[in-house]
A and B are shown apart, each in its own frame.
Chain A
Amino acid sequence: AQSVTQPDARVTVSEGASLQLRCKYSYSGTPYLFWYVQYPRQGLQLLLKYYSGDPVVQGVNGFEAEFIKSNSSFHLRKASVHWSDSAVYFCAVSAWGNEKITFGAGTKLTIKP
């Protein structure tokens, strides 16, 4: 079975500061990993994805994530956050040959002016 842990339910960062949102997954095979963002009262939008290859993947709006297999982690990073980045961020995992996708509990990001 696969699972995802986002240990930080809430993160507050000052505008212009750097950001890291943590994600750890559990899956015995090779995972497909994703980060999604959800703005208030909206559906989810895909930020970035990892299937294979370069462990550092670039996404939209300056976000990137690094797949570290030895640590079963896929943390999301951004060098300088903007007030519009305030949202809930979900990490998710799925697997080849399996239509099931498992989401983490989400991290609510608040940007301080």
Chain B
Amino acid sequence: AQTIHQWPVAEIKAVGSPLSLGCTIKGKSSPNLYWYWQATGGTLQQLFYSITVGQVESVVQLNLSASRPKDDQFILSTEKLLLSHSGFYLCAWSLRRGEQYFGPGTRLTVL
């Protein structure tokens, strides 16, 4: 069975500090991968997607970047956090457009 793991579970970071969030999918070969951001009590904003290793497409500019160094790994990062980066970050995978399966999420608080 496929599993999706996100790390860390939660982070508290200072404004201006760097950030790296990770996502790993096991049990699926060559999935499409996605990053989402969710403000507290809000809707989901798709940030990035990747259909193959080394290739990442940006959907919206939020001073974040993403990389896919391995088939089963998706990394979200920034060198300088803003207050507006606070929220819930969700990773998802799919083998078919739209039918996505989500990880448990990482809660980020920027102070």
Contact = CB atoms under 8 A, between A and B. Distances in A.
A101 B104 contact: no
Give chain B's interface residue range (CB within 8 Å of chain A): 20 to 34
B43 A103 contact: yes
Interface residues of A, number: 24
Interface centre among A34, A43, A90, A94 (most CB of B within 10 A): A43
Given A99-B32, A99-B49, A100-B59, A94 B97 contact: yes
Contacts of A44: 44, 90, 92, 100, 102
B87 interface: no
The main secondary structure of chain A at its interface with chain B is strand
B98 interface: yes
A106 B101 CA distance: 17
Contacts of B44: 44, 90, 103
A100 B46 contact: yes
Interface centre among A41, A42, A44 (most CB of B within 10 A): A44
The main secondary structure of chain B at its interface with chain A is strand
A32 B98 contact: yes
A113 B62 CA distance: 42
A46 B43 CA distance: 15
Nearest to A43: B102
Contact of B100 (A96, A98, A101, A102): A101
B97 to A, nearest CB: 6
Nearest to B45: A103
Contacts of A97: 97
23 contacts: A32-B97, A41-B105, A42-B104, A42-B105, A43-B102, A43-B103, A43-B105, A44-B44, A46-B100, A46-B101, A92-B98, A99-B32, A99-B34, A99-B49, A99-B97, A100-B46, A101-B34, A101-B46, A102-B46, A103-B43, A105-B43, A106-B42, A106-B43
